[in-house]
Structure 1
Amino acid sequence: MDYRQLFSDDATKQEFLDRFDEVAAGAAEWDGPESTTRGLTVDRAAEAVALMKEGRWASGDSQLEAIIRRFTRPVYLIQRSTIVVPADGMATSAEVAANLEGARTRIEPVIPSVGRIDLRNHHLDWVGTGWLVTSRLVVTNRHVADQFARPGAEGFAFRMLAGRQVRAVLDCYHEYEQPDESRFPVEEVVWIEPDESPFDLALLRIRETGEDGESPPLPIELHEPGLTGADVGRWVAVIGYPAQDSRAHPLDQQRIFDGVYNCKRLAAGRVTAVENRGILSHDATTLGGNSGSVVVDLDHGRAVGLHFGGVAGSHNAAVDASLLARLVHTYDR
């Protein structure tokens, strides 16, 4: 990952160093009395910040890296479709929080349209995130849809496991400590991108009413022109369902995600690269269950991408919304 953007503005950099004692104290409490965070010093942090800003940071201190990412790229809880700061006492950048707070009225209307893809008749309870792009079409990742569907004689078919057909359901809640459900059965797997394609995406069609007779949430508007190199540095939010990930350091995950997984969350970050072939990169903090998450532009509340790859502290990639729009126009009916 290119860490330069974590401290690309001097205000965030200075805020982190000015509040370092508070940041380190919070991390030490989280790790317990034997915590090695007691060895952290502001000088050590300042050196890491300087290296990150210059693009010379070689990840070798995962603990300090996790604390920096927690401060500059926080992951918020979602409760009743509202962005909530975790109540764990860990310090979070006021600069980053102000960016998100200023976009709250544009971002929160998007939240209900993002759901967790739950499975029935499968060894997995759930497999990733999906979100509405029309009144009934849901976009997710190919590697998510592959878990419950396969190419068939005509289009795509739900897999059979142990003699039973696997079923998928989009639940637009699964919020932290909230009991609400809004479940829409997946009636049809409309499209799964071929394995050789670089675009990790799939389209599902949900039933027109939920299991309790409710209507689906409003679809998320796509940023159809697509992003360009001029959009590098743009603030975005990734909304989805991070799951505990064996590829990431367990204590670092605890520091960043508060030990809370499998529920709807929002992670703030910036666009770090835009490729001509329809892939963009971002530095919001994600885990495996974020596969299929929406990447939303804070300025307009439109989807700029479909997240498909990344782990905490690593590279994050998304399919550009302009490609999603073409697929939706093809299959919407």
Structure 2
Amino acid sequence: MSAGSTYERLLSESQGGGLEHAGGGGAPSPPDPGHLITELSDEVAWLEERLGQQADPEALERLKRGAAHALREVVDHGADARLGPRDMASLEAVVHSDGSRPVLFVEDDFFDVTAPAAVDWVSRLSRIHDELRTVCRAVGRVNDPTALLGYQGTAWAIDDGVVVTNYHVLEAISSHPSRIDGKFGGELKPGVAVDFGGEVGGGPSDRVFRINRVLGVGPAGAPERAHPTLPSINFDGLDLAVLELGRVSGRPFPTPLQVARGDDQATRGALASRGRSVYLVGFPGRAGSTTPDVFAELFAGVKGVKRLTPGVLTEGRGEVDEDERRWIISHDASTLGGSSGSLVVDLEAEGRKVLGLHFAGVPDRVNWAHGLEGATPELDAAIPGW
């Protein structure tokens, strides 16, 4: 699917009232550039009030001009739209603000219901209020005192005092990292920890746990199986690390989250299927974004805080090209640098079961996660008694 057709679908979807109404009958309304630019302006105004700072006026004007140009290209040419990096960055700002794929602050272990972009999601997400709070409490920022922004990615609780993140996040917080047969070689940097607070405005300060040791890592994958156009990506490998946290007297670990298992007789390893509604929780904000966050040029305060992003699975297990192991899924939720290690959670049924571990993507909205139903044996091996 081209970037033009992807954004045409997302922007048309927002005109119809969000994901809940997708496929609800009739053709979707075409994107209305004027209306979408107004919503973008409203989002910026809300951020100015929310963060207590003014957007850079020149950067804001560039953003509006870029968004108007990119929207017109999509409206006029659809799937054949010619979109450069700045065009897609501008469209990202639009889909973050128009309600189709928002990036919502997490506050008090829940999403910020006052955000203009949240209007189409308040009802649906509020139905899983308790489950959503459990998920948000279980997601932490992987702090690294040596990093430019003080952190390297996201981790989440899978067992008591045990978290999961990406292997490439572990590499970033380690010295001389290596992996052979599920075993990690290397040393953790001093001071690395997982902060389960990290919300906008600071959040709870008593949820930080140092990383004690590495329990296990996923296999690297055969070098000859590297992605044909993205050599840093290898679908034959498992970009996963399991870390043990150090205990702090009087401070309980977050409640571990339920994970979809490949050996579940009820679901038969097929829960992560195409079209399923999902949401991610993580800490977007670093450079090297999967999908650029133009708001970061306007406001420093959007970086490095816990945020929630909804979307759908665009490919289920066994549908992703080059994935012979059947442990990759794809999704269209907004993901930014720092989202590495975010969990992909089922928005249907119970609303709290983890379907995947986000690890990579490319800027035209192809986002990949490891479907954990396909990685059950590796998790069993790394987590005693799991």
Gap change, CA 1:31 and 1:325, over 3 Å in 2: same
Contact 2:285–2:293 under 8 Å retained in 1: no
Give the one of 118, 127, 131 matched to 2:143: 118
Give the one of 156, 160, 165 matched to 1:131: 156
Letter in 1 for 2:337: G
Mapping for residues 64-103 of structure 1, pairs under 5 Å: 64-70=90-96, 71=98, 72-85=100-113, 91-92=116-117, 94-103=119-128
Q: Which stretch of the first structure deviates more once superposed, 246-255 or 319-328?
A: 246-255
Report how far residue 57 of structure 1 moved. Answer: 4.4
Deviations 1:255-280 (A, max 9, x none): 89885111111111111112412101
Contact 1:286–1:312 under 8 Å retained in 2: no
Cross-structure match for 2:237 = 198
Give the one of 239, 254, 260 matched to 1:223: 260
Mapping for residues 16-31 of structure 1, pairs under 5 Å: 17=32, 19-20=35-36, 22-26=38-42
Higher relative contact order (CA 8 A, sep 6+): 1
Deviations 1:150-174 (A, max 9, x none): 34899435527xxxx5353121111
Cross-structure match for 1:35 = 61
Gap change, CA 1:28 and 1:321, over 3 Å in 2: closer
Cross-structure match for 2:22 = none
Letter in 2 for 1:200: D
Cross-structure match for 1:332 = 383
Contact 1:77–1:84 under 8 Å retained in 2: yes
* Distance across 2 between alignment mates of 1:113 and 1:206: 13
RMSD between superposed Cα atoms in Å = 3.7
Unaligned runs of 5+ in 2: 18-27, 46-54, 222-235, 263-267, 319-325
* Distance across 2 between alignment mates of 1:256 and 1:280: 32
Q: Which stretch of the first structure deviates more once superposed, 66-75 or 296-305?
A: 66-75
Q: Helix, strand or coil: the match of 1:295?
A: strand
Unaligned runs of 5+ in 1: none
Whether 1:156 aligns to 2:207 is no
Give the one of 313, 321, 324 matched to 2:372: 321
Q: Please identify runs of 4+ aligned residues in structure 1 that moved more than 6 A.
A: 40-44, 248-251, 255-258
- With normalisation by structure 2, the TM-score equals 0.70
What is the total number of aligned residue pairs between the two structures?
A: 321
- With normalisation by structure 1, the TM-score equals 0.80
* Distance across 2 between alignment mates of 1:202 and 1:76: 27
* Distance across 1 between alignment mates of 2:29 and 2:341: 34
Whether 1:183 aligns to 2:208 is yes
* Distance across 2 between alignment mates of 1:42 and 1:151: 47
Gap change, CA 1:9 and 1:116, over 3 Å in 2: closer
Contact 2:142–2:194 under 8 Å retained in 1: yes
